[in-house]
Amino acid sequence: MISDRIEAVLADKGYDADAIRDEIAGVKVEAVIPSKSNRGKPIPHDKAKYKWRNQIERPFNKPKNWRRVVTRYDKSKESYLGFVAIAAAKLWIPFVHER
């Protein structure tokens, strides 16, 4: 079962709903979700674990700086995925080669 391998679900405030929290709790996984500002009684979360969410999300946001990737100008799936690969390679090269 996948819940045996997951320690926590990291999510942003957009996922602060009782139904989502109940679903996560139902499989006995910790929900690391900060409470929305309009929640009557805020639910505490592990701030140390929540910092990892940013570390995970940051690499996924890098290609979004490429307008063509975000707006999906390409008509075919192959063309779009090819350009995503080019953008990923261009972002990856500075980490591999020293200048």
Whether 41 and 70 map to the same domain: the answer is: no
The residues that bridge with 9 in the sheet, in sequence order, are 31
Whether 50 and 71 map to the same domain: the answer is: no
What is the mean predicted confidence (pLDDT) over 67-89? 81
Supply the range of the domain harboring residue 76: 66-99
| 48-76 pLDDT per residue, tens | 998 888 887 777 777 777 777 777 777 88
Distance CA 3, CA 24 (A): 9
Q: Is residue 60 part of a domain?
A: no
Whether 1 and 49 map to the same domain: the answer is: yes
Whether 33 and 76 map to the same domain: the answer is: no
Whether 47 and 72 map to the same domain: the answer is: no
Q: Is residue 59 part of a domain?
A: no
CB-based contacts of 27, cutoff 8 Å, min separation 6: 1, 3
User: Where is pLDDT greater, at 61 or 85?
Assistant: 85
Whether 25 and 72 map to the same domain: the answer is: no
